A and B are shown apart, each in its own frame.
Chain A
Amino acid sequence: MIELLQKYDVLGAFVTTIELSALGAVGALVIGTVVAVMRVSPVATLRLLGTSYVNVFRNTPLTLLVVFSVLGMTYLLGLQLSPDVATNAFRWAAIMLAIYHAAFVCEAIRSGFNTVPAGQSEAARSIGLTFGQGMREVILPQAFRGAVAPLGSTLIALIKNSTVAAVVGVNESANLMSVMIENETAGIAVFAIFAAGFVILTLPLGLWFTSLSRRLAVQR
């Protein structure tokens, strides 16, 4: 197993996985928050647009989005994000990860809003806070605390789903693993290396988010 690690740049592949996940996570958080605000807004049209976004992207396979981004967007529509083929694939994969997971981030934030009892905003208004003040001082802090656990699961799913970038040849962990599986006879050992890598990446994160969500939970 040591010689496998010496022969291939496993660490480099995981660094690419982490970069891809980080970019995707930031993008998903930004888009997802905007969509979530749309979905809880009092304006029916915005709610409809937000709901459509979530239903479309939650029900489409990420693989399809990633394959389409390179084969469709780049080669047929000419939307190239970089003259370099590898960089182009990487950027499109990050964008598609963000767009896809934004739907789940939106649902996580919305579930956070749902944990806030109606009485809280009524109380805020009854002591004379304006809508904006009530939102800022009373509702949002509780909503975000309620959203920690589902946001954590979304982030973990995103890290695992970043492997889908392998279908367009981004040089991340799943891609390197398929190369190694092809070349090496020790299939189980190769699998063990990459499985361990993902366990190391996601398990502590999951535990941290669970404890965080407990610590931050609003006692009711």
Chain B
Amino acid sequence: MSTSALYDAPGPRARARHRLFSALGILVFLGILFLVVRKLQSAGQLQGYMWQPFLVDRAVWRDYLLPGLIGTFKAAAISIVLAGVLGLLLGVGRLSRVAPVRWVSSVVVEFFRSVPVLIMMLASYGIYSRSGVVAPDTAPLAGVVTGLTLYNGSVIAELVRSGVHSLPKGQREAGASIGLSEGQTLRIVLLPQALTAMLPALVGQLVVVLKDTALGYQITYQELLFWSKTLGSAFANPVAAYVVAAVIFIVVNYLLTLLAGRLERRLRSRGGRGAPGAPASAGTPGAGAAGTPAAQPATPSGAGVA
């Protein structure tokens, strides 16, 4: 981590100071914890019957939390597949040599990236349930999937684009020199490398999708947050139910973040071994936000990437 460059190796006085700061930090943290516990206690939220069901009552998991998780994963899985397809199409569209195709894709991508997911969910849910295109009981799922697909599709399109841009120029030239057409070069040479380089960012995007399924709460989609609310009323332990739901979300998403980090390291080490095409320097291509062309492709300085 380059952060180590921010300070010197501590001497005896600095170490004493650090111990003081440590103690202060722990004290503040324990203080906050104490306030929270006391508040929960005085509001009568720490009684055994509120927290015990999560350990002993199988129905809590069978009838509430697992269906919630299934709802969350179902919406996320469908959305990520559809978003992948849409993203690939729009990303290739933005790379197209045909100007109108490029413009249309750009407008679509920029539009869906600037509209909040909740707005798209509410609108599509309203339209679906009114028009009857979708069966009434699948309208919430369809609404959630539509919102997530449109937003994440355009994010993935940007990932595809910046991934292809981050490849060395020689890749395209090599494709052309062995007689591949423009489209063949993209399909056979560029996209596979770009997508591999994008894999960590794509897994990271999964975290966003999983979290955003919770927005489905507003259009009565039955995901984890919805079910934990129901659970809270059934067992008269709403605070405990929300806390457990939060912990589940945090654990699942944290594991996905770890996986993304691991993929990234593995890809980088593979590039380091000198596979000619492996985009070792493509560190965090996802960071290439709105219209930032891969301006600094050659920074393999090993600087810590968040």
Contacts and interface: CB of A to CB of B under 8 A. Distances in A.
A44 to B, nearest CB: 7
Contact of B40 (A58, A68, A77, A149): A77
Interface residues of B, number: 65
B137 interface: no
Interface in A158-176: 160-161, 163-164, 166-167, 173-174
A117 B123 contact: no
A9 interface: no
B21 interface: yes
A88 interface: no
Interface in B263-306: 287, 289-292, 301, 303-306
B306 A194 contact: no
Interface residues of A, number: 77
Interface string B101-136: 000000000110011111110110011001000000
A117 B2 contact: yes
A143 to B, nearest CB: 9
B111 A195 contact: yes
B275 to A, nearest CB: 26
Nearest to B114: A202
A77 B290 contact: no
A71 interface: yes
Contact of B118 (A121, A164, A209): A164
A43 B119 contact: no
A27 interface: no
A46 B22 contact: yes
B254 interface: yes
A210 interface: yes
B5 interface: yes
Interface in B159-210: 207
A128 interface: no
Nearest to A17: B116
B3 A113 contact: yes
B22 A43 contact: yes
A60 to B, nearest CB: 5
Contact of B8 (A40, A119, A125, A198): A125
A171 B301 CA distance: 49
Contact of B215 (A41, A164, A187, A203): A164
Contact of A59 (B4, B25, B207, B301): B207
Interface in A135-150: 135, 139, 149-150
A183 to B, nearest CB: 10
Nearest to A153: B289
Interface stretch (B51-59, B83-91, B237-245): B237-245
Contact of B116 (A59, A114, A119, A160): A160
B115 A195 contact: yes
A30 interface: no
Interface in A27-69: 38, 40-46, 49, 55-56, 58-64, 67-68
Contacts of B25: 38, 43, 45-46, 49
Contact of A61 (B2, B211, B290): B211
A43 B21 contact: yes
Nearest to B257: A59
Given A61-B214, A118-B5, A150-B287, A55 B21 contact: no
Given A42-B14, A44-B22, A153-B289, A63 B217 contact: yes
Given A68-B242, A163-B119, A188-B127, A63 B8 contact: no
Given A167-B217, A210-B292, A114 B3 contact: yes
20 contacts: A41-B21, A42-B10, A43-B22, A45-B26, A59-B211, A60-B211, A61-B215, A64-B245, A68-B242, A72-B238, A77-B39, A167-B217, A174-B116, A174-B118, A187-B123, A188-B127, A194-B123, A198-B119, A199-B115, A207-B290
Interface of A: 38, 40-46, 49, 55-56, 58-64, 67-68, 71-72, 76-79, 107, 110-111, 113-122, 125, 131, 135, 139, 149-150, 152-153, 156, 160-161, 163-164, 166-167, 173-174, 177-178, 181-182, 185, 187-188, 190-191, 194-195, 198-199, 201-203, 206-207, 209-210, 213
Given A63-B215, A161-B116, 9 more contacts: A42-B6, A59-B250, A60-B211, A61-B249, A118-B2, A177-B123, A199-B115, A206-B289, A213-B292
Would you list the 7 A-B pairs with minimal beta carbon distance, nearest first? Answer: A118-B5, A181-B126, A61-B214, A59-B253, A191-B123, A45-B22, A160-B116
